[in-house]
Structure 1
Amino acid sequence: MRMLPAKPPFPFQLALVVFGLMELALLVRSSQAAQPTTDPAEVQALYAIFDRWGLDRPGGGGDPCPDVDVVAKLNSSIMFESYDQAILCNCSYAQSTTCHVIGLKLQRKDVLGRIPEELANLTYLQNLYLDRNYLTGPLPPFIGNLSAMRRLSLSGNALSGTVPRELGNLNELILLGLGTNNFSGPLPPELGSSSSLQHLYVDSNGFSGKLPSTFAQLSNMTTFWAFDNNLSGKIPHFMGSWTKLTTL
């Protein structure tokens, strides 16, 4: 006669159910707790920048990067371009637990003074638009350390001095807007190292001297504005090698 296996006692079955419910609760809690947060150093940098310029802190003084759904909607150049004030975040770092600021836009906000040194802490920055404000002083060399930068637009301010040669370190740069400022001196030859550069606006300044011969390396150039300056010499022959140029 074959013996049937005995059923586990009821308390044991109950314990299994309770254990399963506890596991499920932990999973739900961990999924809820997995909302990404912005790098604290970048949060403090943004706070300092906005405080310095008398603007309300982004995120109402909380996390400046919005929730994941909003980030997904803003994470496109089209949406970013449609705002005068915007912060663009990428929250896919560290298995989607950390956000980094990749875009900052403060156009027509009447901000005064120098470019704040706290910008140096936004090391993931790819897009920086500070056009049409009242910024003064030099363009700080630390901008050249923001190696992820792709679009840097500072047109329509009162920035002065020479353009730092460190900008030549921005190998990913595709747009540089320096028009309508008070820059002077020669254009730095090091800019010729920014081989990805497509749009260069240096119009309405006090630049002098010849266009650097290193600009021959800017083979991706499509737009070049240099009018209303004190440039001298002939139009260089190397412009003939800018085969993608559409606006001169």
Structure 2
Amino acid sequence: MVYNKETGSEPRIYGCTRTASALLSHCICIGFTVFIALLSRPGTSWFSWHPFFMTLAFSFFMTEAILLFSPHGSPLKRFSHKTKGRVHGILQGLCASCAVLGLAAIYYNKHLNGKAHFTSWHGVLGLLTVCVVGLQSLAAVPLIYHSLAKGWSLAKLKRYHAATGMVTYLLGSASLLLGLSSAWFTGSVGEYTWYLSALCSALNALVIMSQVSSAYTAKKRLMS
């Protein structure tokens, strides 16, 4: 399809597609989190807090934190970039807190049952992801207090933060997908529900990847 400067047909279609994708991602992260909450019934056991907190962290808080900067589907679209940044920081803080609580819950549950820790790919990747989330949160401090990063421009810090943030999100998505293959989840849902859950996680990851890559492609075009 050739871009028409007079009608702007391609940008309009492009914008509608992006808006639909962002809205779908909002619905997925809310719906999937509620579904896991109902399935795990947090509070019924120590283990029940693990899938609840981890899904809340990576499927809801982190997804919404990144979607705040979406030009097509941000719930704070009319607010300033500074305000979005503050809300982003709050959501990321909640994400990190929930991730630590989820890790603590599964660690204590295994301790009570005398089971070995971090023996599966899901456990190892989950631990790695929580550590990376903590490092990503600490690395974001110079974005707020720029004087801490002498010799680094704010634009460069933002680029690195966005790139590492996308990697962190993909780690979280991969950890969630491995969690869907656990004995608990596969034993709690049917085959079609499993595939639908996996599709939800994959779609969210694709939307976030597309948003971040498109943002920096647009910036390169403006600079060229």
| Greater fraction of residues in strand | 1
**Structure 2 length as normaliser, TM-score?**
0.24
| Greater fraction of residues in helix | 2
**Structure 1 length as normaliser, TM-score?**
0.22
